[in-house]
Amino acid sequence: MGGFFDLDGKVKREKEINSIMSENGFWDDKKRADSITKELSNIKKTISSLSFLTTSIDGNYKLSLEIDDDIEMKSLLEEELFSLKRKVDELSLEAYLNDEYDYGNAIIEIHAGAGGTESCDWVSMLYRMYSRYCQNKGYTLSILDKQDGEEAGLKSIMFQVNGINAYGYLKREKGIHRLVRISPFDANKRRHTSFAAVDVTPEINDKIDIVIKDSDIRIDIYRSSGPGGQGVNTTDSAVRVTHIPTGIVVTCQNERSQIRNKEKALEVLKGKLYLLEKEKHEEKISGIKGELLSNGFGSSKRSYVLCPYTLVKDYEFGYETSNVSAVLDGEIEEMLEFGIKNGK
């Protein structure tokens, strides 16, 4: 077996990383050190799993040749093989996550679309869904920027998800998410349709070959809004970076330091430009940008219908479930795994 299941290759890479980490000055570059130690942790986890599988499969194969007609042993062996098959399926899923930044962190943005207060509430519901998923998965989440709705919910929110394979699992959430329900804001209890755009960007390390010229960006400084600590609310620490050639805008206000907010905004911008270049190379950029720009009727990646029936349907991969309440409560791993296996 090769690729993800190449145990010898994983062991060789582990030795290479250990050698790099023993070099003088390794810890001087914190970002590089964090990236390499994260890769080492991931590789060790994979080596442990592959070693266990190799030993178990070999042991069970030898045992199957010796048990003859022992019914009890055959039953135990069948249970063990079922457990091993489930483990192989789990590892096979990770084999799909082989793009350059799949193993790293993800930055998610959610923006309200057509629907006014309804869509702002829908943004907060989606944020809660991803928050619950991250909690269940063992990922940590930090808000980078947030704009409250005028009456309820959120106009937009940007947050970072930290954990192994976070970007690989979540990157296919990009697109327009549509909600159909009886509005809690409508006194006449009419059915409303709301839209929100989700964008997912990898956290980019310094190795990426993306150059941002000073002449290509405009930086605006403004006062942070909303709750978040006395220092945040009384200083002009929030930063908005506009990339003039592409029109991409990134804002960040979670840090008390204007400098740190600027650094983080530029990191996010770098990730967006990386994806833009990748999409151009794959000749898909026009379709993807068109999908994101039409944040309203007639454009959906996924629908969440609560009335007149219950259904979650992903139009990109064909996944469906009637358990909408569980999905909105963060139980989306099955749906994400389906997308990973059936996506491009």
pLDDT score for 232: 45
Distance CA 143, CA 255 (A): 10
Distance CA 226, CA 124 (A): 15
pLDDT score for 89: 72
Sign of CA dihedral 227, 228, 234, 236: negative
User: Mean pLDDT per 10-residue run, the chain (344 residues)?
Assistant: 65 90 88 81 80 76 68 75 74 77 91 88 97 95 91 93 92 94 86 93 74 88 61 67 91 84 88 82 48 54 94 94 96 93 76
As separate numbers, helices (DSSP H) first and strands (DSSP E) second, the chain gives 10, 11
- CATH 3.20.20.60 is held by the domain 3-95: no
**Given the structure tokens 């009637």, which residue do they identify?**
322
pLDDT score for 155: 93
The CATH code for residues 106-205+298-342 is 3.30.70.1660
pLDDT score for 234: 52
Query: Are the beta carbons of 103 and 42 closer than 8 angstroms?
Result: yes
Q: Where in the chain are the domains?
A: 3-95, 106-205+298-342, 214-281
Question: Are 106-205+298-342 and 214-281 equal in CATH topology?
Answer: no
Nearest to 103 by CA among 43, 167, 9: 167
pTM of the model: 0.71
pLDDT score for 311: 97
pLDDT score for 32: 81
The token pair at 307 is: 């009335």
Q: Please state which of the four CATH numbers 3.90.1300.10, 3.30.160.20, 3.40.630.30, 3.40.50.620 is assigned to the domain occupying 214-281.
A: 3.30.160.20
Vertex 131 angle, CA 92 and 87, to 5°: 20
